[in-house]
Amino acid sequence: MKSIEVLLLSRNDVVELGLAPSKVVSVVEDALREHAAGTYEMHPKIGVHPTGTDPANFIHAMPAYLRRLGACGLKWVAGFAQNYQRDLPNVTGLQVYNDTATGIPLAVMDCSYLTGLRTAAVSAIIARRSVVSGARTLALVGCGFEGSMHLRFLVDQIPTLKQIRLRDIRPTAMAAMKDRVSSEFQGDVILCEDNESCVKDADLITTCTNGDEQIIRPEWFKQGAFGVGIEGGCAYTAEALHQADKFIVDDVALAEYFDKIGRARLTADGQPDPEFPGGMPPIYATIGEIVAGTKPARDSDQERIVALPIGMAICDIALAHLAYHTALTRKVGQTFRLV
Ligand SMILES: NC(=O)c1ccc[n+]([C@@H]2O[C@H](COP(=O)([O-])OP(=O)(O)OC[C@H]3O[C@@H](n4cnc5c(N)ncnc54)[C@H](O)[C@@H]3O)[C@@H](O)[C@H]2O)c1
């Protein structure tokens, strides 16, 4: 029997691959087109919930297969929001990348950096198609790892931005973000002391928090604004979420599943903690349908649009495929003999 060598990629190895936003966006757009075409296999995330340190803790299993790309595998990813108190990342985990012809595992890699790339890419892909023409103002709430990835991809994909307003409950996170962004963004970067001064009247509102606070109020969400959030609808008040003219998700089954489990969830102090405050609004489109061109994102400069991508395993596997082949070409990582 032949031996099986598995490629191992640490987080530093994945970072060293230097995957550029334009390449990542193009690969994720293709995965979204496959989603629209139905040439994939994916299931709503199942998981376990060790809630000792935070009621929202999760570890999710996310298998995926993209038929056209020829990529399959599994992400096993944890989100533990209190980890910063132990100087550990919130999101950690492993991505397994399998061979579609034999099923054998070809690679095991860190999934945290790839998750940042894919989540920011999806947000930027839908933002580019949904913001008003000439969008100038970005409000970014939540300046952690995902926030910094989002800033990089949004600045890359929406070149009309002239002002970035940052907000975080941790002032040090905001200040560090401002330092980092000044090298890649030439416009104004403003640190905001409260949610209103950040969010009110922004053209593009991006939330990358842990979802503990309903931040977006309806009176701050102006006509023509676009909002994208990665904490389900948890950063929106029910009124702000339900006044949107269009509500976009990444996957209908995933959104419905998270709506269902959110209905039973409670906060640390025993309050209801729904995934979509006020219930899940009627879905206008998936991001894949908009990327494939079967539905337009924006029909007028007056529309308020909200997109809430829950996070799709098919986008992770598309980037794992890219990372694996780039690592082979560049001879990054090490192998171990599995069989
Ligand atoms: N939808 C998706 O596809 C997807 C993908 C990855 C991560 N996530 C989620 O995104 C969230 C952020 O992940 P991360 O890795 O950036 O975590 P992180 O801990 O690095 O960053 C979160 C940041 O939000 C800030 N924050 C928390 N509450 C806030 C509030 N009320 N107002 C302003 N700022 C606030 C924190 O201080 C922190 O800086 C997690 O909840 C994670 O589960 C979603």
Contact 150/124 with Cβ under 8 angstroms? yes
Q: How far is the centre of ligand 1, averaged over its atoms, from the C-alpha of 213 (Å)?
A: 11
Check pLDDT > 90 for residue 265. Answer: no
Q: How far apart are CA 106 and CA 59, in angstroms?
A: 23
Q: Residue 267 — pLDDT band, cuts 50, 70, 90?
A: confident
Q: Does ligand 1 lie within 6 Å of residue 39's CB atom?
A: no
- Fold match flag (5-115+314-337 vs 129-312): no
Percent of the chain residues past pLDDT 70, beyond the cut: 100
Q: How far is the centre of ligand 1, averaged over its atoms, from the C-alpha of 144 (Å)?
A: 6
What's the CATH fold of domain 5-115+314-337? ornithine cyclodeaminase, domain 1 (3.30.1780)
Kindly give, in sequence order, each residue whose CB lies less than 8 Å from that of residue 300, ignoring residues fewer than 6 positions away: none
Check pLDDT > 90 for residue 183. Answer: no
Q: Does ligand 1 lie within 6 Å of residue 142's CB atom?
A: yes
Mutate to test the pocket of ligand 1, among 42, 91, 126 (most ligand atoms within 8 A of CB): 91
Q: Does ligand 1 lie within 6 Å of residue 210's CB atom?
A: yes
**How much is the mean pLDDT over the chain?**
97
Q: How far apart are CA 17 and CA 24, in angstroms?
A: 12
Q: What is the pLDDT of residue 130?
A: 98
Q: Residue 184 — pLDDT band, cuts 50, 70, 90?
A: confident
Q: Does ligand 1 lie within 6 Å of residue 91's CB atom?
A: yes
Check pLDDT > 90 for residue 331. Answer: yes
User: 44-80 burial by CB neighbour count: b if 16+ within 10 A, else e?
Assistant: bbebeeeeeebbbbbbbebbbbbeebebbbbbbbbbb
Q: What angle do CA 69, 290, 78 make, to 5 degrees?
A: 60
Residues belonging to the chain: 339
Q: What is the pLDDT of residue 127?
A: 98
Q: What is the pLDDT of residue 116?
A: 98
Q: What is the pLDDT of residue 205?
A: 98
Contact 277/234 with Cβ under 8 angstroms? yes
* Tens of pLDDT, residues 110-123: 999 999 999 999 99
Q: Does ligand 1 lie within 6 Å of residue 90's CB atom?
A: yes
Mutate to test the pocket of ligand 1, among 92, 230, 236 (most ligand atoms within 8 A of CB): 230
Q: What is the pLDDT of residue 193?
A: 96
* Tens of pLDDT, residues 232-258: 999 999 999 999 999 999 999 999 999
Residue 86 DSSP symbol: G
* Closest protein CA for atom 29 of ligand 1: 209
Q: What is the pLDDT of residue 317?
A: 98
Q: What is the pLDDT of residue 326?
A: 98
* Tens of pLDDT, residues 46-74: 999 999 999 899 999 999 999 999 999 99
Q: What is the pLDDT of residue 182?
A: 83
Check pLDDT > 90 for residue 269. Answer: no
Q: How far is the centre of ligand 1, averaged over its atoms, from the C-alpha of 38 (Å)?
A: 30
Q: Which two tokens stand for residue 285?
A: 């489109």
User: 151-179 burial by CB neighbour count: b if 16+ within 10 A, else e?
Assistant: bbbbbbbbeebeebbbbbeeeebbeebbe
Q: Does ligand 1 lie within 6 Å of residue 212's CB atom?
A: yes
- The letter for the amino acid at 31 is A
Contact 9/332 with Cβ under 8 angstroms? yes
Q: How far apart are CA 136 and CA 127, in angstroms?
A: 13
Q: How far is the centre of ligand 1, averaged over its atoms, from the C-alpha of 37 (Å)?
A: 31
The residue extents of the domains of the chain are 5-115+314-337, 129-312
Q: Residue 2 — pLDDT band, cuts 50, 70, 90?
A: very high
Contact 313/64 with Cβ under 8 angstroms? yes
Contact 309/247 with Cβ under 8 angstroms? no
What's the CATH fold of domain 129-312? Rossmann fold (3.40.50)
Q: Does ligand 1 lie within 6 Å of residue 168's CB atom?
A: yes
Q: Does ligand 1 lie within 6 Å of residue 313's CB atom?
A: no
Q: How far is the centre of ligand 1, averaged over its atoms, from the C-alpha of 10 (Å)?
A: 22
